[in-house]
Amino acid sequence: MRKLCVVMLMVLGTFAVSPMTVWSADPAPATKAVAKTVSLNRSSAKQLQSLAGIGPVTAQRIVEYREANGPFKKIEDLLKVKGVGRATFDKIRDKLVLN
C-alpha cells in the first residue's frame, strides 16, 4: 500500500504545473496590427491596409482617388472609392481622420 501511494504521488507530480510556468507564458502575438487612426489624405497604401476590410487593391484605389481628385474634404468621400461600401466604411469610420 505504501509503495502504491509513493507511485501515485510520483505520477501526480509529473503532471503538476508550476505557477511560474503559467504566469511566464507570453500572450499570442496579434496577427494584424490594428490602426488607431489613419489619415485619408496622408497615409500610404500600406498604412491604409491596416484598416479592417481594406486590402492592397482598395488601398491603392484610395491613393489613386486622392491623387486624381485632391485631398478628401470629408470622411464620407471615401464612399466614392470603388471597393469601399457602407459596411466597410461603418467599421472603419472612427479610425479615419482627414489630416
* DSSP class per residue in 34-91: PPS-EETTT--HHHHTTSTT--HHHHHHHHHHHHHH-S-SSGGGGGGSTT--HHHHHH
pLDDT value for 11: 52
What is the average pLDDT value for the chain, to the nearest integer? 80
Q: Residue 9: what pLDDT?
A: 52
**Average pLDDT of 39-52?**
97
The mean pLDDT of 61-78, rounded to a whole number, is 97
Q: pTM to 2 decimals?
A: 0.65
Average of per-residue pLDDT across 8-14 = 54
User: What domains lie within the chain, and their CATH numbers?
Assistant: 38-97 (1.10.150.320)
Instruction: Please state the separation of Cα 94 from the chain's center in Å.
Output: 15
C-alpha cell at 55: 486590402
